[in-house]
Structure 1
């Protein structure tokens, strides 16, 4: 069976952030076969030296669900339901935080959001 991944970039919504603080994801659909591995790219620009990046999954009309977070100075964390097959490593040199999904399931079909703090929930940068 074929599984489609729909990619959508989410930029910070706060107008107080510098213009260069954003995330960049390729547009369009990513199609893979069930059981395969896929890597969803996310590049970011940030004026901070301590970057906070997040991945979320949204399927159907449900609200986005937290997958994982990665920080420049910390490993971050991964939600229990995603620990087995979802992983990411933040590369501050290349300013990337790709999401790797292994052993794809049809249920992995969703919109995947990469977010830079402040996130889609409106958190403020401290």
Structure 2
């Protein structure tokens, strides 16, 4: 086995060990609230690199598909169109949380909300080193 292939295998093993270490945890169960109230949905995360965080909230309505609502990052934030005014989340690196707050609840806010964390292990060039 050539030295470049040995190094590649060591790198692959290292990256395999990195996967699965980052995670999000949302409390199970329903949150019940009244129209006009404010509600906060919890999301805890565990990440190896807290200096490069990308956390997202999605809304999944019945018979629909998850829709991106907002993202909170180590360096800033973004809200999707329609989620600028009543929806907010604060990324707290110390408590490892990014709770979603919805103000002035409306009946149309009824949905399942998902918190997601972007993987911190990424790859660069994906072209094969050698054709098989």
| TM-score between both structures, scaled by the size of structure 2 | 0.75
1:18: how far off?
A: 3.5
What is the CA–CA distance in structure 2 between the aligned matches of 1:94 and 1:38, rounded to whole Å? Answer: 19
What is the CA–CA distance in structure 1 between the aligned matches of 2:88 and 2:122, rounded to whole Å? Answer: 25
Worse-matched range after superposition: 99-108 or 75-84: 75-84
From the CA coordinates, give the structure whose radius of gyration is larger.
2
* Between structures 1 and 2, the one with greater strand share: 1
In the alignment, what sits opposite 1:50?
52
Checking the alignment, whether the CA contact within 8 Å between 1:117 and 1:125 is kept in structure 2 is no
In the alignment, what sits opposite 1:66?
68
SS in 2 for 1:107: helix
Matched, 1:107 2:104: no
1:20: how far off?
A: 2.8
Q: Give the 4+ runs in structure 1 shifted more than 2 A.
A: 15-20
Instruction: Flag structure 2 segments of 5+ consecutive residues without an equivalent.
Output: 1-14, 124-132
Instruction: Flag structure 1 segments of 5+ consecutive residues without an equivalent.
Output: 1-14, 119-123
1:33: how far off?
A: 0.4
* Between structures 1 and 2, the one with greater helix share: 2
Report the count of equivalent residues. Answer: 107
What is the CA–CA distance in structure 2 between the aligned matches of 1:65 and 1:19, rounded to whole Å? Answer: 24
